[in-house]
Structure 1
Amino acid sequence: MNNSTNGFDEQRLADFKRIVEGYLLSVVCICGLLGNALTCIILSSRFMRTSITNIYIFALSCASSFVLVGFLLTHGIRATFHAEVFYCLIFTRIFPIHVTCLLIQIYLTAAVAFDRFILICLPFCSQKWRSPKLAIYTVFSICAFSMLYCIPFWFEFTLVKEYNQTNIRVSRFGSHRLFRLIMRKYLYFIFVFLVPLSIILICKILIIKNLYLIEKRKRLLGTSLKRNRSSNAINFLLLSIVFLFLLTQIPYFVFNVLYSWYGSILMRNLLARQYLVINNLLSVINASATFILYAFFDKKFREVSKYFLFCRPLPANFDARNTALRLLSRNFTLSKRRSTMNSSYQWSTYVNNNPTDSTKNNLIVLNTMPANF
């Protein structure tokens, strides 16, 4: 009875994986690879590569492309064509690269959130902590850290020949108690789960809170100034990227934490294995969504996309308009810094000699804050 039940569960799992990982995951992977390729081409063009934010998104799109290739090779092809021999041949080589790219993707998402946090919540520090050189250095540092962290995973699995058949088995190194304890439990929980997730959540909450307070106090002031639409669109874009990451990756993190504690016992449960299949699909959706989100929120990205895809000419003043916006943004930030310092000093002097309402004082000082470009 037990054997028949196990056979029935395995058949159900195979059918479930063929639909979810074989068909859905493969289609999303192919579409995501095309979208990420277009995103990289457009962001590397002379029209888009000057933005610091675009440097992080370009790197994130590259890492996501490698993640999609890994999922397609190790899950999509295997589930669609029952390519077990092919899977065994490539798994030990693809798996550590795939894990490395997943870690790079996680920390690049955290870097995007932290970069926007500095720009919105600490505008006076943005000139010091935000530059193309520093962004490139951050990307390479994340890649170097991820490669070093994932070195032990190259030795976790091995190929074993049994009855003229090659099978994947956990190696002696991978099954060692110290490896399971350090790499699969404590270091994973700290460096893959706790640190990046904390950065993303804290930055996201503070960004939303700061944007809400700015809008609320502007309404109280009754100011007629409108926020820069392009900056507003980029804020929504990056918040959407972070939100989608949290929505698709938290279930995966939860599963990996449970697996680190329960080990292979967890994989004996049919629901747990189906849950893992769904998590793989969610990870693929997260890695494929950058182009769609960019095209939806960023008008400049849409214009450049039409230029590349449909050979449509850009607006006549496109280059001049964007150059002027960058210069105005830079000059406006610098001038606002000076005016904030001067107005704060003048206002404090006035307040010392003329008692006024503290609420009005706070609102006027807030009105001198630089806009979020």
Structure 2
Amino acid sequence: MSSDTLYDQRLAEFKRIVEGYLLSIVCICGLLGNALTCVILSSRFMRTSITNIYIFSLSCASSCVLIGFLLTHGIRSTFKAEVFYLYIFTRIFPIHVTCLLIQIYLTATVAVDRFILICMPFRGRKWRSPRHAVIVVICVSAFCILYCVPFWFEFTLKTENNETIITVSDFGSTEMFRLLMRKYLYFIFVFLLPLTIILICKISIIKKLYCIRQRKRQLGTSSKPNRSSNAINFLLLSIVFIFLLTQLPYFVFNVLYSWFGTKLMMNLRARQYLSINNLLSVINASSTFILYAFFDKKFRQVGQYFLFCQPLPAGFDSRTGTTRALKGTVMLSKRRSTNSIRKYSPHVKQNPADLTKEQLLPTSQVPSVV
């Protein structure tokens, strides 16, 4: 058995397990999870939140990424559908790359939005509105689409000896394309810029939350923490952490590919490393629903409402708004009433219900007894 035959067999077996079975299973589960996430976040209970607008857009982009991986890797490796792969690759590949870039920049946008909310709550308030969030998503998507236009012309189909193969086109093999799109611009716009934004925002958010917690300890405040806000903070930090954990190896491979070119793909370890990176990218695109369901109680309740027709708690619509404010007003009124009673009556006991009418009135207003 020749070394080339052994190389092909080992690679095919490895890809069948990693990119065939594992990647396909994760893709299907991720598509179901992202679909549920989009349905829940688009409901009238959740769509008013600015953060949910970004997460909804991120889930849509992640779903497109999963579909691309399933078509170009999962079906091919599982069923050895080379003819199907040849037919769709030149059409799916540029769309897939575009969706991957949109996913990367939307993750950076989520980090920036939370950075503005936590680190600049007053100066950045005017920039955080549903209208601005939609505009930001549209601008990010337009930038990624324009950036990825050259990738539509990178590969082409070529027939040799009655066999059709995928090869780099004349445009894709030019030195200008390799230097700009696969090396310098990739390193700046796909690797360095979004990664720097995400790291700076994440470190700043963690530092700010730590300072707030230390300040509360020093002041000895006994107020209960805002569990809803803390859950959203942990959720978004987890999304960013999973993104960094799963995408850093993929970025490293693409940087190596930009420098070594197609020669890198002749190495068995590099091809296996790429398959693992593809699986990690699929895990990242499938993690939003799991993280949301784990951290956000409101998301779980709305999900149970849609999936199992369970009734929502009473006053659910205004749980974080009017009801809480009204409750605070009522409690404040009760405290003022109690303070007034204590101020005007020296006979107030522990139980206000035991007071008589004369004890609740000021001394000057108590009628004299003849």
TM-score range, shorter chain: 0.7 to 0.9
Q: What is the distance in 1 between the residues matched to 2:49 and 2:323?
A: 12
Which structure: greater helix fraction? 1
In 2, distance between residues paired with 1:66 and 1:316? 37
Give the whole-Å Cα distance in 2 for the aligned partners of 1:291 and 1:165: 43
Match of 1:337 in 2: none
Q: 1:223 to 1:259 in 2, by over 3 A?
A: same
Equivalent in the alignment of 2:229:
231
2:314 is the counterpart of 1:316 = yes
Deviations 1:93-142 (A, max 9, x none): 00000000000000000000000000001111232111111100000001
Displacement of 1:253 in angstroms is 0.3
- Alignment partner of 1:61 is 2:55: no
For residue 163 of structure 1, what is the aligned residue in structure 2?
161
- Structure 1 stretch 162-171 or stretch 257-266: which is displaced more? 162-171
- Structure 1 segment 35-50 matched on structure 2, within 5 A: 35-50=33-48
Residue matched to 1:348: none
State the shift of 1:51 in Å.
0.1
Match of 1:219 among 196, 217, 220: 217
Kindly report the root-mean-square deviation, in angstroms, between the aligned alpha carbons of the 2 structures. 1.4
Q: 2:315 touches 2:323 (CA, 8 Å); kept in 1?
A: no
Match of 2:25 in 1: 27
**Structure 1: 5+ residue runs without aligned partners?**
332-373
How far apart in 2 are the matches of 1:10 and 1:219? 62
Alpha-carbon distance in structure 2 between the residues aligned to 1:321 and 1:200:
32
Q: Distance in 1 between matches of 2:324 and 2:107?
A: 25
Counterpart position of 2:140: 142
2:87 to 86, 89, 95: 89
Is structure 2 residue 102 aligned with structure 1 residue 104? yes
2:318 touches 2:324 (CA, 8 Å); kept in 1? no
Q: In the alignment, which of 284, 301, 304 is matched to residue 303 of structure 1? A: 301
Matched residue, 2:183: 185
In structure 2, what is the Cα distance between the partners aligned to 1:12 and 1:125? Answer: 57
Residue 326 of structure 1 deviates from its aligned partner by 8.6
Aligned equivalents of 1:247 and 1:317: distance in 2? 39
* Structure 1 length-normalised TM: 0.86
Scaled by the length of structure 2, the TM-score of the pair is 0.87
* Unmatched 5+ stretches in structure 2: 330-370
Counterpart code for 1:246: L
Choose the corresponding residue for 1:243, options 241, 244, 249.
Answer: 241
**Cα distance in 2 between the residues matched to 1:7 and 1:320:** 66
Quote the residue 1:269 is aligned against: 267
1:125 aligns to what? 123
Cα distance, 1:285 vs structure 2: 0.1
> CA separation in 1, counterparts of 2:2 and 2:297?
58
Matched residues in 1 for 2:123 and 2:186: separation? 32
Measure the CA separation in 2 of the matches of 1:184 and 1:326. 53
Q: Does 1:286 align with 2:289?
A: no
Aligned pair in 2 of structure 1 residues 307, 181: CA closer, same or farther (>3 Å)? same
Deviations 1:64-99 (CA, angstroms, capped at 9, x unpaired)? 000000000000000000000000000000000000
- Percentage identity across paired residues of the two chains: 76
| Aligned-residue offset at 1:220 | 1.2
Distance 1:325 1:94, change over 3 A: farther
SS at match of 1:293: helix
Q: Measure how far apart 1:327 and its partner are.
A: 6.7
CA distance in 2 between counterparts of 1:308 and 1:206 reads 37
Q: In the superposition, relative to structure 1, how do residues 325 and 274 fare at CA in structure 2: closer, same or farther (>3 Å)?
A: farther
Q: Deviations over 1:297-334 (max 9, x none)?
A: 00000000000000111111101323327978xx9xxx
2:151 & 2:287 partners in 1: Cα distance? 28
Please report how far the alpha carbon of residue 5 of structure 1 lies from its aligned counterpart in structure 2 after TM superposition. 2.0
Helix, strand or coil for the counterpart of 1:50? coil
- Structure number with larger C-alpha Rg: 2
- Structure 1 residue 160, shift from structure 2 partner: 1.1
Cα distance in structure 2, aligned partners of 1:256 and 1:116: 29
Distance in 1 between the 2:322 and 2:287 partners? 31
Determine the structure 2 residue equivalent to 1:371.
none
Q: Are residues 1:77 and 2:75 paired? A: yes
The list of structure 1 runs, each at least 4 consecutive aligned residues, that deviate by more than 3 angstroms after superposition, is 325-328
SS of residue matched to 1:109:
helix
1:218–1:265 distance in 2 versus 1, CA, 3 Å: same
CA 1:105/1:326 → structure 2, altered by over 3 Å: closer, same or farther?
A: farther
2:128 maps to amino acid: R
Deviations 1:264-309 (Å, cap 9, x if unpaired)?
1111111111000000000000000100000000000000000000
Q: Secondary structure at the match of 1:97?
A: helix
